[in-house]
Chains A and B, each alone.
Chain A
Amino acid sequence: MKFRHFMAALGSTVAAVLLIIVAFLGVYAWPAMRLNGFHFLFENSWNLGGLYANPITVHGQQILPGAHYGILFLIVGTVLSTAIAVALAVPVGVGAAIFLAEAVPQAARRWFSFFVELLAAIPSVVFGLWGYVVVIPFLGHHVFPFMAKWIGFVPFFGGSTGSGYGLLTSGLVLTLMIVPLITATLRDALVSQPEMLREGAIALGASRFETLRTVLLPGVRRTLIGSTILATGRALGETMAVLMISGNALNYLPQNIYAPISTMASFIVSQLDSALQDPTGMAVRSLAEVALVLCLISIVVNSFARLLIRFSGEQVRVTP
């Protein structure tokens, strides 16, 4: 066989893997999808049913009596925690990128940047450990009560502050995990803007920061949007860190910003043991449906981001 054909065949595995994953999950979750229908996305009830009762048949599927699966609270938890993370990560990421690209002297740039990129290399579970051991006590005992007292009049910022587990904590830690993605990409884009553009602005009397604000940043707009969307994708799928600090809510929506939540990703981990108790297997299949929904969302978000970046002509690094 010709070399190139052999390479093509072997290399196509990479492409096939993604399609296989979606296909298998879809097939496995199909019974659950038939049972749950569209209500799956809009209801707040994850209930395995009577575990010691005999299975009954609903919608053509064997399930335990009383079993009902709805994941609205998961969708809300995922969307809100990601939204907080992205809202915080963009300004911090842009600020840090500007600092690295413009304020740090050329020679030191590599080391300063490296320092920020190391943040991206830290495993999710270590972030979770840090969150669980250090951040939660700190926020729960000191910061949140303070916040609720002084800015509690703002909607969702008042009320019970809980013990530190919850939406805001998850959002904050997620921010740290996704910022390096934005910063690294944006820094590269800023550095590669031609010097001529800077000189043109400075010759008209703009200061260096004004040049950044009015000429350089608008010039890298598409890269910024693309990397933000990629960062969003990353935040949507974060599992371990969120699992350890979110409080693992079940079947209820957060009342304020300090309340516990669950995300789709963390739920899949936290529920496996219980789901295995269901002899009909419907619980496990419903979890698979959650995984499928999560997979499809991330595929859509990532595809959108990649296409956007491709059309801006910029190159985005694949580093995590």
Chain B
Amino acid sequence: MLRPGRMIRGMEETPAAPGPEHKEADPHAFNPKVTRFRVRGLNAYYGAKQVLFDVQMDIGAGEITAMIGPSGCGKSTFLRNLNRINETVSGARTEGEILLDDQNIMRMDVSALRRRVGMVFQRPNPFPKSIFDNVAYGLRINGYKKNLSESVEHSLRRAALWEEVKDQLHKSATALSGGQQQRLCIARALAVDPEVLLLDEPCSALDPVTTAKIEELLVQLKQTCTIVIVTHNMQQAARVSDFTAFLLEGRLIEYQATPKLFTNPADPRTEAYITGRFG
């Protein structure tokens, strides 16, 4: 079962978090720290089918927020709305308001938004280019004005991949192992120095050892980056995140500090999910 020591790890590394356990029964616990994303009244549709119902959430800066829930509950859809990549799916429609640092993301230039809010996907998807060109891609596309090599090295270090590939930067990215490819994708996303990093089940295609490496990486990264991670692995959510949101059938059921959600959930449905009664 979940060991208290491991669960509170997120809290230990965040100094002086002003008591997230004050609002017990309120599923939309407001975080008095700097808020990165403010989501209000989010409804999402695929064609005629509604997949998100009136979701409201505040995502805090410098934290790792996990989204859990059974398959099809809408957590990926929610994530994909945060960087508007959902718009590339035909028939997808979103209503409601999402504010990034008080700017409505629907009114922002979408390219600029995506530079600030990066994404890592479920399966590693490196471009058929060299390792260097993969990491440099975002920089080149967005017209980066400074030194490319330095940035590439910096990103690869942040993704804990530099030591393994520093001598083979011009080798094809597809020659790397699965775990290395995923870290490359993280480096690629980090290269443009995003404020937020979205991860959609990033470890589901990877083995446990690699998964542990990536989880460590995320905990390091949150010092410079806000992280939102969708996962169907509850232990992962418990290990890594500061806050957890539980979605069920398109609705936000509970949103709490992680230790609280996993030891003393406010909603019976949350409890049923985390104890494995369904999903």
Which of A's residues lie within 8 Å of B, judged by CB? 106, 194, 196-207, 210, 214-215, 218-219
Contact = CB atoms under 8 A, between A and B. Distances in A.
B48 interface: no
Interface string B171-196: 00000000000000100110010000
Contacts of B16: none
Interface of B: 83, 85, 88, 90, 111-115, 118-119, 121, 123, 125-129, 137-138, 140-142, 185, 188-189, 192
Contacts of B115: 204-205
Nearest to B134: A200
21 contacts: A194-B125, A197-B125, A197-B128, A199-B85, A200-B126, A200-B188, A202-B114, A203-B83, A203-B114, A204-B114, A204-B138, A204-B141, A204-B142, A205-B111, A205-B142, A206-B141, A214-B137, A214-B140, A214-B141, A218-B128, A218-B129
Given A205-B142, A207-B111, A200 B192 contact: no
Given A203-B119, A205-B141, 16 more contacts: A106-B90, A197-B125, A197-B128, A199-B125, A200-B121, A202-B88, A202-B114, A203-B85, A204-B115, A204-B142, A204-B192, A205-B111, A205-B115, A206-B141, A215-B127, A218-B129
Q: Which of A198, A199, A207 is packed against the most chain B CB atoms within 10 Å?
A: A199
B121 A210 contact: no
Contacts of A194: 125
Contacts of A198: 88
B85 A204 contact: no
Contacts of A203: 83, 85, 114, 118-119, 121, 189
B125 A196 contact: yes
A185 B127 CA distance: 21
A3 to B, nearest CB: 43
Contacts of A199: 85, 88, 121, 125
